[in-house]
A and B are shown apart, each in its own frame.
Chain A
Amino acid sequence: MSKPVEVNDSNFDQMVLQSKTPVLVDFWAAWCGPCRMVAPLVEELAGEYEGKVTMVKLNVDENPQIASQYGIMSIPTLLVFKDGAPVSNIVGFRPKAELQRSLDAVL
């Protein structure tokens, strides 16, 4: 069962942009309540979408470069990357069913 891997400013290119399968990036920070609420949902989705979408997490406090590069001004933000570019953008806490719908829409 795959658990979301933490990515950072240095390995983002390799882990996300170069990935052959779509990647969902969970932009979060420790002080963000709704981020903590979204985290378990992303973990569950990691298992359900294993092989189809890879789930990773990026701490915006520790990795300001990538966060600002993608214009992240609100967290939690879930960006789905396909072939190196963002194809879907979910801002704010959403229930699992809604996250599944958003993922299914880009697969």
Chain B
Amino acid sequence: MAIKREYDVVIIGGGPAGLTAGIYTARARLKSLLIERGATGGLIVNAGVVENYPGFPDGINGLELAEAMHQQAVKFGLETLTADVTGLELKDERRVVKTSEGDVAARAVIVAGGSDRVKLGVPGEEEFTGRGVAYCAICDGYFYRDVPVAVVGGGNAAVNEALELTKFASRVTIIHRREELRATKILQERAFAEPKIEFSWNTVVEAVEGEDTVKKLRLKNVQNGEKSTLDISGVFMAVGFRPNTGYLKSVLTLADDGTVITNEKMETAVPGIFAAGDIRSSSIRQVAAAVGDGSVAAIYAERYIAAK
């Protein structure tokens, strides 16, 4: 496909990392394009209140924060394109980003496409999505008023989802395949103190069952193999995230988990290609980190371009 447009910097992904990079590159008067396949904001648009992003003692709504970042980036001249990125190629000095809306060329690319929620991959999951299988408590908790639900997972996402669900559900069972939670201590404390939350340790979900809507889960204890069922009206999956790096395999050597390896300058092994945010191997998956990565990547991208 012919190259439609040329930029100094192309940023892939419109979450906090990408938007921050865009603020910096636009202010550096680099011709910048941010490509996002959905709506800007990334995963925080599903967060009710972001409590740990610095500057907001009373917390801030995830979508509001994302919208403010977007507004700020666009104000300085960042261009945006809604498209799917399907490939990244190196053509001499140019980095060509292939998208569903045509190809764009850049002198530097910042990959900030983050990650997507992992599906559990059990029978019944697809079938009942939207009818008892859900991935976002803030979004859907309302539909599970006064009924028992389950949350699958043991990290921050799972605990946050469970705590959110206690506002609606009669009972929340956290199903985790290990003996203890991975979540931040303060979240664990809240979960243990919450009377509506129960725990099913060393347990995995084998299947989701129901009729029109979900009625129960088939469970297995991973230590002794014992099988059981749990009657619930809804199950929220919070088992992890998968980095959006499929299209990068031809250009970069990815880590085993599919994330992008960078140094502290957000540089990848390929000159002119940088990465920021959750997509990075050492990411701690926090907005504050993504914002930091975005600014660093932008500055080093600027220096890279200036040196050419």
**Residues of A at under 8 Å CB distance from B?**
29, 31-34, 36-37, 60-61, 71-75, 77, 89, 91-97
- Chain B interface: which size bin? 20 to 34
Would you call B299 an interface residue if the criterion is a C-beta within 8 Å of the partner chain's C-beta atoms? no
Q: Of A33, A73, A89, which is within 8 A of B46 by CB?
A: A33
Q: How far is the CA of A93 from the CA of B37 in the complex (A)?
A: 11
Main secondary structure of the interface of B (DSSP, over half): mixed
Q: Is the CB of B134 within 8 A of A73?
A: yes
Q: Is the CB of A34 within 8 A of B130?
A: no
* Residues in A neighbouring B129, C-beta threshold 8 A: 74, 91
* Residues in A neighbouring B213, C-beta threshold 8 A: 71, 73
Those of B116-152 within 8 Å (CB) of chain A: 129-132, 134, 136, 138-140, 142-144
Q: Is the CB of A32 within 8 A of B130?
A: no
User: Known contacts being A34-B46, A93-B39, A97-B100, is A29 close to B142, with CB within 8 Å?
Assistant: yes
Q: Is the CB of B45 within 8 A of A74?
A: no
Q: Is the CB of A73 within 8 A of B138?
A: no
Q: Is the CB of B46 within 8 A of A75?
A: no
- Closest chain B residue to A33 by CB distance? B63
Q: Is the CB of A75 within 8 A of B63?
A: no
* Residues in B neighbouring A60, C-beta threshold 8 A: 142
Q: How far is the CA of A71 from the CA of B234 in the complex (A)?
A: 13
**Residues of B at under 8 Å CB distance from A?**
37-39, 41, 45-46, 61-63, 82, 100, 129-132, 134, 136, 138-140, 142-144, 212-213, 234
Q: Is the CB of A33 within 8 A of B130?
A: no
**Given A33-B46, A73-B130, A74-B129, 11 more contacts at CB 8 Å?**
A33-B41, A37-B41, A71-B213, A73-B131, A74-B130, A74-B131, A74-B140, A75-B143, A92-B130, A93-B38, A95-B82
Q: How far is the CA of A37 from the CA of B138 in the complex (A)?
A: 15
Q: Is the CB of A34 within 8 A of B139?
A: yes
* Residues in B neighbouring A94, C-beta threshold 8 A: 38
- Closest chain B residue to A37 by CB distance? B39
Q: Is the CB of B63 within 8 A of A95?
A: no
* Cβ distance A74 to chain B, nearest Cβ, rounded Å: 4
Chosen A-B contacts, 21 in total, with CB atoms closer than 8 Å, are A31-B138, A32-B138, A33-B45, A33-B46, A33-B139, A34-B136, A37-B39, A37-B41, A37-B63, A61-B142, A73-B132, A74-B131, A74-B139, A74-B140, A75-B139, A75-B140, A89-B130, A94-B38, A95-B37, A95-B39, A95-B82
User: Known contacts being A34-B45, A96-B82, A97-B100, is A74 close to B134, with CB within 8 Å?
Assistant: yes
Q: Is the CB of B45 within 8 A of A77?
A: no
Q: Of A72, A92, A93, A97, which is within 8 A of B143 by CB?
A: A72
* Residues in A neighbouring B142, C-beta threshold 8 A: 29, 31, 60-61
* Residues in A neighbouring B39, C-beta threshold 8 A: 34, 37, 93, 95
Q: How far is the CA of A89 from the CA of B129 in the complex (A)?
A: 11
Q: Which of the listed residues A34, A75, A93 has the most CB atoms from chain B within 10 Å of its own CB?
A: A34
